[in-house]
Structure 1
Amino acid sequence: MPQQAAPPGPTTGLFVNPAAARRAGFEAVCGDQFARLDLADSAEAALATPDLPGVGLLVIDLDRFDPELDHAGLARLVAARAGAPTFVLCPFANARWLPALMACGPVEYAIAPLDGEALRAALAARLAAGPTPLAAPSPRERALDGLQALRARVRAALGEGEELAALAERLCQALCGWPGVAHAALFYLQPGGDLQLQAQHGERNLNLAKVLGRADRLLQSPLRHAFPGLLAAAANTIVLLDDLDKSGEPRLADALRGHGIKLVLALPIPSGGPGTARGSLCLLLREARLFSRDELDALAEIADLAAVALRIADMNREGEAMLVRVTHLSTLDALTGIANRRQGERLLEGEIKRARRYKVPMALIAFDIDRFKDVNDRYGHPVGDLVLRAVADAARKLVRASDVLVRSGGEEFQVIAPHTSAIDGLKMAEKLRSAIEVTAMPGVDRVTVSLGVAQLGEHESADSLTVRVNAALARAKRAGRNCVELAMG
């Protein structure tokens, strides 16, 4: 339908956008709402406008402007207004413009995209507000006490220093205490991984994992360009969706609207590095509304606090993982990857106590590589190392899950075998001998092993058991090698 003619507006206007088509479109849709409307293609051109502070309303359409390249110029433009109002049309997917420009002067905004009718309505409401709409305290400004309370709740939630999941859950609970917030979520970029829904709290029947179709690998989600929580983390920007249909995803809009959600605001959690975000905080509100500079600044501060707390939680988690890894490595033989002598002694003591407690048998098998010194002397130590690995690998394939394979010395090994009698130990030792004898050894023709087997005595210590099994191993060596001997009681 053709637009109805409107009488010229009572004020002058200046519209700024770098695209000629958008300038022409704004003039066609809204030109009749001004007594006179000037157009500018850049902040520099607008700054050259005569009597800029006297222009009734400055309208900046942020579409096509780059936050990195154009911020300084637009900031000077807002500041040059000397307190006169500026009206900003801000894309929902790049709302980080708002707090930056609000810091330079009185700024009100509408979230784009807007069709012609919605744009005229937003502009008419702004023009009807008069020349000093921000002079009187607004309901938002009167809610500063609420912001202070929100900050206090968040600091308390983040101050306990627990592990990541608990910290994220407490933060979402604190954010839900802000009036109007129906649901809060924290999206977190896993170290070396992808974005995941770390925590959420609020409306009982609202599960964002169901709305988004997944809870992890969210940077691969088809909704990453539309849902503010994903977009804020991926693009490292504030995202403000004040009309769910602006997302361009009808199913997403309907799903959120079905839970009474009318507005979604997401803020990136800074990572400390350029161009990246650690994740995002996502607030789902029951009513569409405008946000003041104080509110956006407070939320940005909360995102910064979350970044610090998450970084500490990550450091704690990494420290614990490193400790586990160091502890694990300290129990392994570096060459073969099996338990080292110290770990073997500790585990042997434990298995002896368990065998006595439950009155079950336990056997210890000791074996070493026959004439291993000749291998090193003839082929060199690098080949000797390969032989040690091959013997350990062959033995590892034969031992049971409950058994422990230990490198107890240079070419010496043990198998701690719980629930194993002397006869069963002999059978296991013979299988080891046969398997190693036919195993292809890198760099040599073949190797053999000699083995001793001992069953734990009723009152025997680990030292005594080890002495007996080593004596049996020595007898196997004297018997011609490549054989098994049972320890004497």
Structure 2
Amino acid sequence: MSPHHGAPAPASCLFVNPAAPRRAGFQRDCGALFAQLRVADGAESASELLAQQPADLLVLDLERFEIGIDLAALGQLVAQRAGAPVLVLCPFTNARWLPALMAHGPLDYAIGPFGPGEPQPQVAARLAQGFTGAPAPGPVEVELASLLAVRSEAQQALAEADDSIRFGERLCVALQGWPGVLHAAMFQLHEGGDLRLEAQHGAAGLDLAAILGRAERLLQSPLRHAFPGLLAAASGEPALLDALDKAGEPELAQALHARGVQMVLGVPIPASGPGAPRGSLCLLFGHARPFSRAELGAFADLAQLAAFGLRMAEMMRESEELLGRVTQLATLDALTGVANRRHGEYLLEQEIKRARRYRLPLALIAFDIDRFRNINDAYGHPVGDVALRTVADTVRALLRSSDALVRSGGEEFQVIAPHTSAIDGLKLAEKLRAAIEQAEIPGCDHLTVSLGVAQLGELENGDSLAVRVNAALARAKRAGRNCVELAMQ
């Protein structure tokens, strides 16, 4: 940053702070340090003053500024300086300003609080030593910046941790940002001990599945002892191949050399507890080089992050399975596997709304098993349970995918039949009656059912439709059972 140490001190200064007392205090305390000192209450007025006349030094006093409101404007002001000296007076309670502003350009800073007269020694010291801003990054800083960038990208991959494949793909994209990496891959151990190539990203034409000869059952691969990614997943120890011929597999070395690979690193992804690793991360480099301690530590940290992401994906999958099971318990009848009464009421309301919207017919069929109590009394409740399941299975086999079967009571059922008129509902009900009459019931004689059919009226709701269809069912019972009755409008 210019001017460097030993250069003439800035002759003009522009001080920026939104509070008038702070501006007046800086003019009083530091005015003698400059041939010209101007003040501004914000980024916009400061930009206008700089456009009229440049200043050798810009001083940003962050007291009273809000980072959520003022960062963009102040950052643009720093960027417009294009390397000219900037001094930031930063409260110690809000140091997050510093990296946020440094992202826009180089600057020097002094940490407050600053009372009356206090900024003067800080500014005078900076004037005496010259404004150097951020020093040119050395090898250590460059390495650190690379590590932080890859780690940041890898952490963002956790946003995809609801799915292990998407997470792996995002993580491989992040890992490919490591200096010298041509290709990155993630291997995951699945149930049954099957190691699979979960994700990869990098150089065009470099496909590890093709090089290894397979993408699954990789622990049975003949290259499991030679390729670092497989070796790390199998042994739980990092594996580094800095010269490809050291693996003793000439064909593997030739295939990697042909794709520009000179070095391969495999890092195990640790398990949550004792046991085999979850898999491994594998990095393929275009040049062989030694790693620093920081880099090796960063590889281990990234493997730990991968373990965390895979565990999150596993927990999400377990949660979805549990939610599905809870939903099933809440909506299905445990004995027959059809919709229970509560869920049936919901389904009926949904179909009524759909029928109203698209002006389509909707039929409701209600039926129950004739003299079902006699079956329980004569053969026992286990046989009665078998009879209920047999009836449900027989009916489901005859229904369309759009129809819904509901167990509405002990031996009572309903069929919700969309796109079905009263006449078609009668035909369907008769088909069901005949099929149930012919069904074989293990442990007892044949049984019959009585049925009622109703078509949804133009202004009817679910409750009145159910009342009408149940009245039709009652008439079928009075008519001698094993028959179908159509509900009256």
Cα pair 2:182 2:286 within 8 Å, conserved = yes
Contact 1:146 1:178 in 2 (8 A): no
CA distances 1:228-258 after superposition (whole Å, capped 9, x unpaired): 2223222322222223334444443333222
* Deviation for aligned residue 1:339: 0.8
1:283 and 1:332, CA in 2 relative to 1: closer, same or farther beyond 3 A? same
Match of 2:358 in 1: 358
Q: Which moved more, 1:328-337 or 1:247-256?
A: 247-256
Aligned to 1:274: 274
Matched, 1:255 2:255: yes
Q: Distance in 2 between matches of 1:297 and 1:233?
A: 18
Q: TM-score, normalised by structure 2?
A: 0.67
> Residues 158 and 306 of structure 1 are in contact (CA less than 8 Å); yes or no, is this contact kept in structure 2?
no
Match of 1:381 in 2: 381
Is 2:160–2:167's contact at 8 Å kept on the other side of the alignment? Answer: yes
Deviation readout 1:200-241 (Å, 9 max, x if unpaired):
222133232333344344334444343322232223222222
Q: 1:192 to 1:430 in 2, by over 3 A?
A: farther
**Which ranges of structure 1 fall in alignment gaps of 5 or more residues?**
1-138
Query: After the TM superposition, which residues 81-100 of structure 1 pair with which residues of structure 2 at under 5 Å, given as runs?
Result: none
CA distance in 1, matches of 2:262, 2:212: 17
* Residues 309-318 or 415-424, more deviating: 309-318
Q: Give the letter aligned to residue 307 of structure 2.
A: A
TM-aligned CA distance change 1:426 to 1:192, over 3 Å: farther
Q: Write the deviation string for residues 242-301 of structure 1: whole angstroms up to 9, x where unpaired.
A: 233344444433332222111111111011232311111110011123334443232112
**1:229 to 1:364, Cα distance in 2 relative to 1, 3 A:** same
Does the CA-based 8 Å contact 2:394-2:439 persist in structure 1? yes
Q: Give me the whole-angstrom Cα distance separating, in 1, the residues matched to 2:452 and 2:218.
A: 57
User: CA separation in 1, counterparts of 2:455 and 2:193?
Assistant: 50
CA distance in 1, matches of 2:323, 2:464: 34
Q: Which residue of 1 aligns with 2:104?
A: none
Pairwise CA distance, 1:466: 1.0
- Aligned 8 A contact 2:160 2:166 in 1: no
1:157 is aligned to 156
2: CA distance, partners of 1:438 / 1:193: 50
Aligned: 1:227 with 2:227: yes
Query: After superposition, what is the alpha-carbon deviation per residue over 1:390-424, rounded to whole angstroms, capped at 9, x for unaligned?
Result: 11111111111111111111111111111111121
1:35 aligned partner: none
CA distance in 2, matches of 1:330, 1:162: 28
Distance 1:327 1:193 in 2: 31
Cα 1:365/1:281, change in 2 over 3 Å: same
- Partners of 1:147 and 1:298 within 8 A in 2: no
Contact 1:363 1:455 in 2 (8 A): yes
Preserved contact between residue 140 and residue 291 of structure 1 (Cα < 8 Å): no
Q: Aligned partners of 1:199, 1:358: CA distance in 2, in Å?
A: 46
Contact 2:241 2:247 in 1 (8 A): yes
Equivalent pairs counted in the alignment come to 351
Given the superposition, is the C-alpha separation of residues 458 and 308 from structure 1 closer, same or farther in structure 2, using an over 3 Å criterion?
A: same
Residue 140 of structure 1, CA deviation? 8.8
**Alpha-carbon shift at residue 326 of structure 1 (Å):** 1.3
CA spacing shift, 1:311–1:413, aligned 2, 3 Å? same
Contact residue 351 and residue 418 of structure 1 kept, 8 A: yes
Query: Is the 1:365–1:451 Cα contact (8 Å) retained in structure 2?
Result: yes
User: Contact 1:362–1:456 (CA<8 Å) still a contact in 2?
Assistant: yes
Letter in 2 for 1:184: A
Structure 2 residue aligned with 1:13: none
Which residue number corresponds to residue 346 of structure 1? 346
Paired position in structure 2 for 1:449: 449
- Give the match for residue 470 of structure 1: 470
Q: Determine the C-alpha separation between the residues in 1 that align with 2:248 and 2:483.
A: 77
**What is the SS of the residue equivalent to 1:277?**
coil
In 2 relative to 1, CA 192–370 (structure 1 residues): closer, same or farther, beyond 3 Å?
Answer: farther
Query: Does residue 1:181 correspond to 2:181, yes or no?
Result: yes
Q: Which runs of 5 or more structure 2 residues have no equivalent in the other structure?
A: 1-137
Identify the residue that residue 81 of structure 1 maps to in structure 2. none
SS in 1 for 2:314: helix
Assess, with a 3 A threshold, how the Cα gap between structure 1 residues 251 and 317 changes in structure 2: closer, same or farther: same
Alignment of 1:84-233 (within 5 A): 144-146=143-145, 148-149=147-148, 152-153=151-152, 156-158=155-157, 160=159, 162-164=161-163, 165-191=165-191, 194-233=194-233
Deviation, 1:150, is 5.1
Paired residue secondary structure (1:443)? coil
Where in structure 2 are the equivalents of 1:279-294 lying within 5 Å? 279-294=279-294
2:278 match: secondary structure: strand
Classify 1:337/1:193 alpha carbon distance in 2 versus 1 (closer, same or farther; 3 Å).
Answer: farther
CA distance in 1, matches of 2:218, 2:273: 21
Contact 1:454/1:469 (CA < 8 Å) preserved in 2? yes
Match of 1:430 in 2: 430
Give the conservation status (yes or no) of the 8 Å contact 1:147–1:295: no
Provide the aligned C-alpha RMSD in A. 2.4
| Distance across 1 between alignment mates of 2:366 and 2:221 | 56
Per-residue deviation at 1:178?
1.6
CA contact (8 A) 1:261 1:284 kept: yes
Conserved 8 A contact 1:195-1:219: yes
The alignment status of 1:244 with 2:244, answered yes or no, reads: yes
Identity of aligned residues (%): 65
Contact kept, 8 Å, 2:182 with 2:284, in 1: the verdict is yes
| Segment of structure 1 superposing worse, 410-419 or 189-198 | 189-198
Distance 1:410 1:222 in 2: 61
Name the residue aligned to 1:326. Answer: 326
* 1:430-470 superposed Cα distances (whole Å, 9 cap, x missing partner): 11111111111121112111111111112211111111111
Partners of 1:448 and 1:224 lie apart in 2 by 65
- Relative distance call for 1:219 and 1:368 in structure 2 (3 A) is farther
